[in-house]
Amino acid sequence: MPASSQHEISQCRLSKLLIECARALSENRKLDFDKLIHEAKKEVSITGEPIQRLGAYIVEGLVARIESSGPNLYRALRSRDADSKDLLSYMQTLYDNCPYYKFGYMAANGAIAEAFKNEDRVHIIDFQIAQGTQWVPLIQALAARPNGPPQVRITGIDDPVSRHARSNGLEAVRKNLAAMSDKFKIPIEFHGVPVFAPEVTREMLDVRPGEALAVNFAMLLHHTPDESVDVNNPRDGLLRMVRSLSPKVTTLVEQESNTNTTAFVTRFMETLNFYSAMFESIDVVMPRESKDRINVEQLCLARDIVNIIACEEKERIERHELLGKWKSRLTMAGFQPRPLSPYVNSVIKGLLRYYSQHFTMTEKDGAMLLGWKSRSLVSASAWH
């Protein structure tokens, strides 16, 4: 039998075994679960095939779920991340090696650049500023405008307990932007808001008349609870508040996955499917034995996997929704789609040529979806 066929059979066998573990757990068959998880532990490895590596973190999540220790494990992983001096460099490694973030940022920046084309005073509100990496190419483009650069204001929101905030992230962003302002001869004013996204009020954002406004949600909204967790529905409330600011453009980048309100086994299978594609794509660009690859998977992905599998109710932070669901939320909040331009589309297609041929890009109702083989992984859309 060819090696590729053997590989597919072993991959399929381990996936089925992990699904059986999840089913036994959801049906409260404790003895079956113990037997199956014991078998699964022998098959997984953080240095093996993509499914074996993913399986190692899934097993950790399943064990935490049955022991009701999911929230504690998630908090421990979060605080380990916060203390890790290397986390930002591993996020950068993931950013450099896989196009997921780059794709989302480029699509959002393209829509914002287009909306700002003839504007002299512009204001970007970024609901998850992190290190501010997203804005470097946009600022360069605005600085190079033939009719001269606009005056730029950036309001960066970063929750007060995040790893970036602990390492004084907002101050670091301020310094980086000041350096860019000098380098590219473009006036930039920065305002940092260390508040959780659902707690942000209009007053904190200092929206001024005469400015063109862009609001950016990059990989953030799925962390904001919705009506299934909180009767006040902060997810839709935040969208309504942003709509009341009358932004010229609002950009949304999200993982294309359905883990919000689905039943446990369905959510488990969705997570297995989504992260299998992601781990496979990492496998193509980073060697199995690479310490960097292990750290990228452990620090940047394992925590989210554990949270989806082992936590429930308010403790479950990772609540992804598909593009169709985001569309209905945005439409209900009063937004209309702003199709991404053919130019942005061609630039992103150009970017993908530098990566594996298995990365795909499709358009759907003016939005863009980046995928691995037949699985969509990230959606990018713009609204007004």
Q: What is the average pLDDT across 104-122?
A: 96
Residue-wise pLDDT tens digits, 273-314: 999 999 999 999 888 888 889 988 988 899 999 999 999 999
Q: What is the average pLDDT across 17-46?
A: 97
The sign one gets for the Cα dihedral 12, 14, 15, 20 is positive
Q: How far apart are CA 106 and CA 117, in angstroms?
A: 16
**Beta bridge mates, 156:** 126, 192
Q: What is the architecture, at CATH level 2, of domain 99-257+332-383?
A: 3-Layer(aba) Sandwich (3.40)
List all residues 6 or more positions away from 374 whose beta carbon is below 8 Å from its beta carbon: 360
* CA 13 remoteness from chain centre: 29
Q: Which pLDDT value is given to residue 7?
A: 59
Q: How far apart are CA 297 and CA 304, in angstroms?
A: 10
Q: What angle do CA 44, 48, 49 make, to 5 degrees?
A: 100
Q: Would you say 339 and 101 are in contact if contact means Cβ atoms under 8 Å apart?
A: no
Q: How far apart are CA 384 and CA 381, in angstroms?
A: 11
Residue-wise pLDDT tens digits, 182-239: 999 999 999 999 999 999 999 999 999 999 999 999 999 999 999 999 999 999 999 9
Residue-wise pLDDT tens digits, 126-177: 999 988 889 999 999 999 999 999 999 999 998 876 654 445 678 889 999 9
**Beta bridge mates, 215:** 125, 250
pTM over cut 0.85: yes
- DSSP structural state of residue 363: E
Q: Would you say 229 and 313 are in contact if contact means Cβ atoms under 8 Å apart?
A: yes
Collapsed DSSP state (helix, strand, coil) of residue 62: helix
Domain spans in the chain, listed from the N-terminal domain onward: 3-93+261-315, 99-257+332-383
CB atoms within 10 A of CB 241: 17
Give 77's Cβ-side CA count (13 Å radius): 23
**Beta bridge mates, 217:** 252
Residue at 166: amino acid letter? R
Q: Which of 127, 207, 186, 135 is nearest to 159 (CA)?
A: 127
* Number of helices and strands in the chain (H, E): 16, 8
Q: How far apart are CA 64 and CA 93, in angstroms?
A: 28
Q: Which pLDDT value is given to residue 287?
A: 86
Q: Which of 299, 306, 382 is nearest to 340 (CA)?
A: 382
For the chain, give the number of residues: 384
Q: Which pLDDT value is given to residue 280?
A: 95
pLDDT above 70 as % of the chain: 93
List of E strands, 277-344: none
Q: 285: exposed, middle or buried (C-beta count within 10 Å: 0-12, 13-18, 19+)?
A: middle
- Averaged pLDDT of the chain: 91
* CA 360 remoteness from chain centre: 18
**Helices marked H in 169-290 — which ranges?**
169-184, 202-205, 234-243, 264-285
List all residues 6 or more positions away from 196 whose beta carbon is below 8 Å from its beta carbon: 159, 160
Q: How far apart are CA 89 and CA 94, in angstroms?
A: 9
